[in-house]
Structure 1
């Protein structure tokens, strides 16, 4: 989160920031009690969020139209973890000044911190349109697309920018990740090859491991990812992919450790939540699985995999009607989701709905016949 303060512009590297924040400082001196504002700024700089909130609340009480006071109050609230209250302050600023760069950025970051990635994406997108030079907003806009599973959108955003600036390693990783997740492995391999040539071997190893995992080459994926993590254990998303590869290789205990490690670094990692929750559910630890699976569904409400895992969890805990409703809705949207039909058949059997069970069994058989006719397919993570 960012606030207005003397000297802040030299730390804030986004283009055109100096002019913007210098203007806010002048407004502050003209419209806010300087001593009070200075005290609030010192409290914020010292990390005393409670005192900063108290003082900035006094600032905005005395000057309700103070844009800089409300922005900084929002920063203090967000730093204290009060993201909803911070959001209110930023939205009040934007109602008066819709193109205020700092308020829009901090609003988007508050939403992002709450894992409200769809709403945060809208704010980052609006910021990009009003301030196209804001690189941080661009990166986080693309990251929201990745977190939401909108890989084609991430590619459409990152690919032109990467062509214009192929030395941007953040863009390179975003684009490579999106291409591999979208199944465009040949184009993803081109990005990996360039990373190798330019010396970015650890990140290239992560992308290579992701591609190998997608192709079902689990042993090679595990090896590639382990080598990459030995070089740099802090590559975003690497521990999650490594955990998935270990799981597919049958090393479940190590897989759980890797996924928990991933969630320590990023509690809002959808794949880590989903796969750790699924592993715990299959192991019979439904209490341990539930918070991870529900958080995964919160991050991506439209995810078939997350919806399926919740339905399977409800079935495992004996909530058969809830599970039936969840899975019936799921197969309406994804009628070829074989595992969901298998679960439904078992649920109907437990509910003594013989005809419904028979119908689901026929659907499962039909999908199995179709799969055999189509030949081997990449492994499913559902």
Structure 2
């Protein structure tokens, strides 16, 4: 008969301990939330972890811990916590958004896509989710899907910078530049966006529209000359328009920011080579080739450098390989003909000249897009 009171007392002690642990967990949660609101992430993380030690199923503490870890840059730990929360509460959209953003920030584009797609399916009219999913599709080179996703949402959001930027980019990159470029250039003008001018100028450059490309890129330079990649692209456009001095200044600016900028080394090396400045051209072109050993234009310029240095056998080997790889590319044939004649290989030189005439005849039938 005495056993029953002893057992009851034990159960009461356990219940009291459980209630005390729960109360302490809630207290730690409140303290962590307050620290998080004041930007004290270290204290917040410690408090949330203490709350979970006392009460592992306290979802709010785990969700807040994931957010605090992400804010502190501890993305892998944040992803682990957010994933745990969603196992317990799969309908928690706020945590799913945090998880998607953590994947996005770490470059896990496909994992981010999965989470953003779930959010978009649940809230198809939510603009922010659609924009983030569009960005993710663009990162995955699925621009056509991004464009299709965003097209129905554009009416009424034409002035939204983030929406128009990701939509215009998707249109340009998915083969619809006639629709995307006007949007991107309008965005650049209305928002004074160097990034938008750079993207539009780059697209114009690769379409061969050098005049407009240069106008767009110069506008970007005026707004933000420190924008990564801008000086390099502006240099290419200036070079394409025949402004060699302007191109040199741009490429030198690019190399001041990043000495291993491939295109800046290649183009500046090419300019110096054309000026017969072999001393300056050599290191630039050699670094470009080191950065991208199989890049055809870098190999062509190295072949030209070898030719001018009298290393004719090395030049021939490169040029013959380029000719085999791309028979319709004019310049290797021109250079190879010159080197063959220097080597007294007249028959080979004559053959190359005939090939040059055939390629030039075909090129004359193709209209230029430069305006």
Q: 1:22-61 alignment to 2 at 5 Å? A: 33-61=25-53
Q: Distance in 2 between matches of 1:103 and 1:109?
A: 10
- Secondary structure of the 2:163 match is helix
Q: Deviations over 1:234-259 (max 9, x none)?
A: 9xx96545642334433212234678
Larger radius of gyration: 2
CA deviation string 1:309-343 (max 9, x = no partner): xx964776xxxxxxxxxx7xxxxxxxxx9669989
User: Counterpart of 2:325?
Assistant: 364
Query: Do structure 1's residue 276 and structure 2's residue 268 form an aligned pair?
Result: no
> CA, structure 1 residues 61+82, in 2 after alignment: closer, same or farther (shift >3 Å)?
same
Asked if 1:184 corresponds to 2:176, the answer is yes
TM-score, scaled relative to structure 2: 0.60
Partner of 1:11 in structure 2? Answer: none
Tell me, in whole angstroms, the C-alpha distance in 1 between the residues paired with 2:204 and 2:290. 29
Distance 1:31 1:51 in 2: 19
Unpaired segments of 5 or more residues in structure 2?
1-21, 240-246, 270-287, 304-316, 331-357
What is the CA distance between 1:153 and its match in structure 2?
Answer: 2.2
Per-residue CA shift, 1:330-368, capped at 9, x if unaligned?
A: xxxxxxx9669989x9xxxxxxxxxx9999556324353
Query: Which of 139, 150, 154 in structure 2 is aligned with 1:147?
Result: 139
Tell me, what secondary structure is at the counterpart of 1:47?
Answer: coil
- 1:142: how far off? 1.2
Question: d(CA) in 2 for partners of 1:88 and 1:148?
Answer: 23
For residues 244-292 of structure 1, what are the alpha-carbon distances to aligned partners after superposition, in whole Å with 9 as ceiling and x for unaligned?
Answer: 23344332122346789xxxxxxxxxxxxxx9355468889xxxxxxxx
* Greater relative CO (CA pairs within 8 A, separation 6+): 1
Report if the CA contact (8 A) 2:100-2:113 is conserved: yes
| Partner in structure 1 of residue 66 of structure 2 | 74
TM-score of the superposition, structure 1-length normalised? Answer: 0.58
Contact 2:251 2:268 in 1 (8 A): no
Q: Would the aligned equivalents of 1:243 and 1:257 in 2 still touch at CA under 8 Å?
A: no
Q: Which of residues 156, 163, 178 in structure 2 aligns to 1:171? A: 163
Deviations 1:6-29 (CA, angstroms, capped at 9, x unpaired): xxxxxxxxxxxxxxxxxxxxxxxx
- The 5-angstrom pairing of residues 82-101 of structure 1 reads 82-101=74-93
**Residue 338 to residue 227, structure 1, CA distance change in 2 (3 Å):** closer
Corresponding residue SS for 1:366: coil
- Give the secondary structure class of the aligned counterpart of 1:33: helix
Number of the residue aligned with 2:252: 253
Aligned pairs for 1:171-320 within 5 A: 171-191=163-183, 199-200=190-191, 202=193, 205=197, 208-218=200-210, 220-228=212-220, 230=222, 233=224, 240-241=229-230, 243-248=232-237, 249=239, 250=247, 251-256=250-255, 276-279=261-264, 313=290
CA contact (8 A) 1:176 1:192 kept: yes
- For residues 97-126 of structure 1, what are the alpha-carbon distances to aligned partners after superposition, in whole Å with 9 as ceiling and x for unaligned? 223111111111111211222322222122
Task: Please state how far the C-alpha of 1:140 moved relative to its aligned partner.
Answer: 1.5
Number of aligned pairs? 284
Question: Once the 2 structures are TM-superposed, how far is the Cα of residue 164 of structure 1 from its aligned partner?
Answer: 5.7
Q: Supply the distance in 2 between the matched residues of 1:243 and 1:194 (Cα, whole angstroms).
A: 23
- Tell me which residue corresponds to 2:106: 114
Mean Cα deviation higher: 360-369 or 32-41: 360-369
